[in-house]
Amino acid sequence: MEYLEQSFSVKFDYKVFFTTSLFKPDNFTLANFILSVPAKIRRKILFVVDEGVAIAHPDLKASIKEYFKVYQEIQLVEDILIIPGGEAAKNNPELFEKLIAAVDTYGIDRHSYIAAIGGGAVLDLVGYAAAVSHRGVKHIRIPTTVLSQNDSGVGVKNGINFKGKKNFTGTFSPPAAVFNDAEFLLSLTDRDYYAGISEAVKVALIKDEAFFEWLEAHASSLAERNSKQMNVLIKRCAALHLAHISSADPFEMGSSRPLDFGHWAAHKIEQLSHFSILHGEAVAMGIALDSTYSYLIGLITEEKLQRILNVLQVFFELTHPLIQIQDLNAPVLKGLAEFQEHLGGELTITLLSDIGKGQEVHQIDSDLLIAASNYVMEFTRQPQSLSL
Amino acid sequence: MEYLEQSFSVKFDYKVFFTTSLFKPDNFTLANFILSVPAKIRRKILFVVDEGVAIAHPDLKASIKEYFKVYQEIQLVEDILIIPGGEAAKNNPELFEKLIAAVDTYGIDRHSYIAAIGGGAVLDLVGYAAAVSHRGVKHIRIPTTVLSQNDSGVGVKNGINFKGKKNFTGTFSPPAAVFNDAEFLLSLTDRDYYAGISEAVKVALIKDEAFFEWLEAHASSLAERNSKQMNVLIKRCAALHLAHISSADPFEMGSSRPLDFGHWAAHKIEQLSHFSILHGEAVAMGIALDSTYSYLIGLITEEKLQRILNVLQVFFELTHPLIQIQDLNAPVLKGLAEFQEHLGGELTITLLSDIGKGQEVHQIDSDLLIAASNYVMEFTRQPQSLSL
């Protein structure tokens, strides 16, 4: 058999910056980053802003324009695009096409930047459009929610939905840089603010017992929106997320995806709720279900399970008619097959073998899922534990 | 300035197989490849075939079905999709959407394969759809033209056009494997057969003097469609292409693109001709123009230039009204700016400093391009050199 063999490695690196007031003219963080990359022509940057962020920060457009008046070496595209945010943005292929057309209209090339300011959905959509334009325009992420600052925004994935199926099309494309500005969190509703905490609980549960204990200890002050503690949470969660990506299989060529603990059910109930349940809320419910399943098959003790459910309950409803599994026809169960199909290969579900330790299994017993769902429902009917 | 730093490498490898009669049941090449990848569930494969290939090989569908009856461990998707080929396929976004819908309909997951059989355009289109489905379904390329077997089909790029702009959206995504079947070349028209030779001349000119001498020596037998010599050409050209990708900047993060020698004009005249000029034909004209420009600025001797033009003339018309530059308003000149925009950064054009040696320049003098264009026109009016 005659053949030629090709083999090469591609190196990717990027920084995740933590700052406040990113567009204050004396904040050098963003301008320094862009100017630090050698370029022989003037660098161009196009901003795309989440509509919700633009409404909550009516001065944002003007601030961006003022900022780049100070840093004239960078060519700001005069039009700042505003696009609808939230999961609905990922269901609308016209928004994707609008972004591709903007790359053409504004002459954005492979050494220009497209910067997205917004929640995870806008970052996913803009990141995907940037990744495929000219086979990859540099993409800067400026996440504005807890969830995107500690999780999706610092990772390497992007994508949009197809016929309601989450992230059906997308790529693995590391950003050029990420800028986490703590100020954006101040304008979030409590619901959006809390929603981001479930990914921190998740990554603590599968990777970092000490972080889980920290979350237990600081749950009340996080619930009161203590900024200092929230910054600690975001930085630690982002660091765990980055470490996971670089240590394992960044572009997920295998079938394992431990960071998706709790996500098979979460993805499905988001879709079943027509995205009225937020991703973070769905993940909290998914964690509750799969932690309980881990207890029922003997992987963790009931005491540890209840610690988990108690922390989650500070921020979230842990059950919902869409995740209640009364029999084998419960629609959420379809999420298992869809999860397997998206990753391909064998079914691989992460459970817990301890607090701070994920464990993969390749089979899930639906009858035990019914029992787990009933346990969570029963638990949430009790008066909340006073241990926190 | 507070930040976290992310850094990782991703390794890519794939084989380019050379075979004949790929779907003869006793040809193990394809089945062995698929079965050599460990997988715990039955691997699925979906075929997408270039309409032109399906017409030229009316038994192809049946042969594929017979083949996978022998290799039952692989699950062939019963429906074999036929899509129009040629550059027009890349201008039609509905074909791209049809392929994404097929991934959904047939339950193709990240460990399944989408195999494309066809010319470069079909491979580019199907490769792009595979690359973004589930953030990357495994893609097998079965190129059926000289051009795709020696050049585009063995590389890492895919893409489709946007408003007629070539490869405006696409990705860098290495294939899972490439299978070059010499039998497909037999049914090509002379025009398609010859068109693939220009990329071999190109890579010889910028990288391999001995290969250029081989091309000079074998031009007549290649013109007579000698299969043995064509197989030598394809393998050597593919090897040079692969070596270039792995040695330099596989995902083109810089601004240099030496393999695009002759391509700034080629891309533009393809578009101006509404793709009635084939890519390979346009590249031959682009090589003639840029080789002549190299001579006019003193990089190569006139004798070497004429050797280049003589080899090209065996297979190609070297000029065409669309590439004739009479003044600074000639439409093809817009190709320079568009080429720069697609790559980004500084204008970087590869010229020749010798036969077998490319040299990058960052400025092109339009008046000298007019002179180069006139030289080529004059040269082609002469009776063909007898030196071959």
For residues A46-53, average pLDDT: 98
Of B187, B204, B221, at which residue does a domain stop?
B187
Q: Which of residues 31-60 of B touch A (CB under 8 A)?
A: 32, 39-41
| Confidence check: pLDDT of A321 > 60 | yes
Angle at A113 between CA A108 and CA A117, to 5 degrees: 120
| Dist. CA A301–CA B154, nearest whole Å | 54
Inter-chain residue contact B159 with A15, CB threshold 8 Å? no
A155 in a structural domain: yes
Assess whether A236 and A362 both reside in one domain: yes
Residues from chain A that touch B5, judged by Cβ atoms under 8 A, are 13, 15-16
Q: Angle between the A197-207 and A279-296 helix axes, to the nearest 10 degrees?
A: 30
Mutate to test the interface with B, among A1, A6, A44, A103 (most CBs of B within 10 A): A6
B340 in a structural domain: yes
Q: What is the pLDDT, as a whole number, of residue B273?
A: 95
Q: Which of residues 103-122 of A touch B (CB under 8 A)?
A: 103-104, 107, 109-112
Assess whether A213 and A242 both reside in one domain: yes
Whether residue A214 lies within 8 A of chain B, CB to CB, comes out as no
Angle at B313 between CA B308 and CA B314, to 5 degrees: 110
B209 in a structural domain: yes
Assess whether A144 and A195 both reside in one domain: no
B141 in a structural domain: yes
Assess whether A232 and A269 both reside in one domain: yes
- Least trusted range by pLDDT, from A107-121, A334-348, B153-167, B217-231: A334-348
| Confidence check: pLDDT of B385 > 60 | no
Reference B143, options B236, B233, B62, B49; nearest CA is B49
Reference A13, options B30, B3, B345; nearest CA is B3
For residues B354-379, average pLDDT: 96
Split at pLDDT 50, 70, 90, the class of B388 is: very low
- Least trusted range by pLDDT, from A336-350, B265-279, B326-340: A336-350
Nearest CA in chain A to B234: A4
| Dist. CA A137–CA A131, nearest whole Å | 6
| Confidence check: pLDDT of B387 > 60 | no
Inter-chain residue contact A10 with B14, CB threshold 8 Å? no
Distance from CA of A289 to the nearest CA of B (A): 25
Q: Are B10 and A9 in contact (CB under 8 A)?
A: yes
Between chain A and chain B, the number of residue pairs with CB atoms below 8 A apart is: 208
Distance from CA of B293 to the nearest CA of A (A): 24
Distance from CA of B182 to the nearest CA of A (A): 12
**Which of B19, B40, B245 is opposite residue A8, by nearest beta carbon?**
B245
- For B266-299, what is each residue's pLDDT tens digit? 999 998 999 899 999 999 999 999 999 999 999 9
Inter-chain residue contact B8 with A11, CB threshold 8 Å? yes
| Dist. CA B352–CA B151, nearest whole Å | 20
For residues B175-201, average pLDDT: 97
- For A90-141, what is each residue's pLDDT tens digit? 999 999 999 999 999 999 988 899 999 999 999 999 999 999 999 999 999 9
Assess whether A174 and A248 both reside in one domain: no
Assess whether A125 and A146 both reside in one domain: yes
Q: Are A110 and A134 in contact (CB under 8 A)?
A: yes
Residues from chain B that touch A98, judged by Cβ atoms under 8 A, are none
Whether residue A232 lies within 8 A of chain B, CB to CB, comes out as no
Domain at A294, CATH number: 1.20.1090.10
Whether residue B244 lies within 8 A of chain A, CB to CB, comes out as no
Indicate the SS3 state at residue A95.
Answer: helix
Assess whether A176 and A210 both reside in one domain: no
| Dist. CA B142–CA B123, nearest whole Å | 8
Residues from chain B that touch A12, judged by Cβ atoms under 8 A, are 6-10
Distance from CA of B145 to the nearest CA of A (A): 18
- Looking only at the bridges linking them, the beta strands covering A113-118 and A138-143 are parallel
| Dist. CA B85–CA A125, nearest whole Å | 30
Quickly list DSSP for B72-120: TTEEE-SPPEEE--SHHHHT-HHHHHHHHHHHHHTT--TTSEEEEEESH
Of B127, B161, B187, at which residue does a domain stop?
B187
Nearest CA in chain B to A4: B16
Inter-chain residue contact B4 with A251, CB threshold 8 Å? no
For residues A290-314, average pLDDT: 98
Assess whether B21 and B142 both reside in one domain: yes
Assess whether B321 and B369 both reside in one domain: yes
Q: Which of residues 271-310 of B touch A (CB under 8 A)?
A: none
Assess whether B154 and B201 both reside in one domain: no
Using a pLDDT cut of 70, give the percent of chain B over it: 97
Quickly list DSSP for B18-39: EES-TTSTT--HHHHHHHHS--
For residues A140-148, average pLDDT: 97
Q: How many domains does chain A have?
A: 2
Residues from chain A that touch B29, judged by Cβ atoms under 8 A, are 1
- For B43-64, what is each residue's pLDDT tens digit? 899 999 999 999 999 999 999 9
- The H-or-E segment that residue B54 falls in is helix B51-56
Q: Which of residues 156-175 of A touch B (CB under 8 A)?
A: 157, 159, 162-163, 165, 167-172, 174
For residues A16-20, average pLDDT: 98
A66 in a structural domain: yes
Residues from chain A that touch B339, judged by Cβ atoms under 8 A, are none
Distance from CA of B304 to the nearest CA of A (A): 31
B33 in a structural domain: yes
Whether residue B19 lies within 8 A of chain A, CB to CB, comes out as yes
Domain at A39, CATH number: 3.40.50.1970
Query: What ipTM was estimated for this complex?
Result: 0.92
Q: Are A255 and A340 in contact (CB under 8 A)?
A: no
Domain containing residue B57: 15-187
Query: Residue A175: what are its φ and ψ, rounded to 5°?
Result: -70, 165
For residues B134-148, average pLDDT: 96
Distance from CA of A252 to the nearest CA of B (A): 9
| Confidence check: pLDDT of A385 > 60 | no
Assess whether A218 and A351 both reside in one domain: yes
Assess whether A170 and A200 both reside in one domain: no
Q: Would you give the DSSP letter of residue A152?
A: G
A212 in a structural domain: yes
| pLDDT greater at residue A378 or residue A248 | A378
Split at pLDDT 50, 70, 90, the class of B380 is: very high
- For A149-205, what is each residue's pLDDT tens digit? 999 899 999 999 998 888 999 999 999 999 999 999 999 999 999 999 999 999 999
- For B231-259, what is each residue's pLDDT tens digit? 999 999 999 999 999 987 888 887 677 78
Split at pLDDT 50, 70, 90, the class of A339 is: confident
Inter-chain residue contact A109 with B172, CB threshold 8 Å? no
Q: What is the pLDDT, as a whole number, of residue A196?
A: 95
Task: Tell me how long chain B is.
Answer: 388
Task: Tell me how long chain A is.
Answer: 388
| Dist. CA B289–CA B212, nearest whole Å | 18
A388 in a structural domain: no
Whether residue B6 lies within 8 A of chain A, CB to CB, comes out as yes
| Confidence check: pLDDT of A343 > 80 | no
Whether residue B190 lies within 8 A of chain A, CB to CB, comes out as no
- For B107-124, what is each residue's pLDDT tens digit? 998 889 999 999 999 999
| Confidence check: pLDDT of A255 > 70 | no
Of A187, A217, A245, at which residue does a domain stop?
A187
Q: What are the b/e assignments for B291-308, b being 16+ CB within 10 Å?
A: bbbbbbeebbeeebbbbb
Q: What is the pLDDT, as a whole number, of residue A34?
A: 95
**Average pLDDT score, chain B:** 94
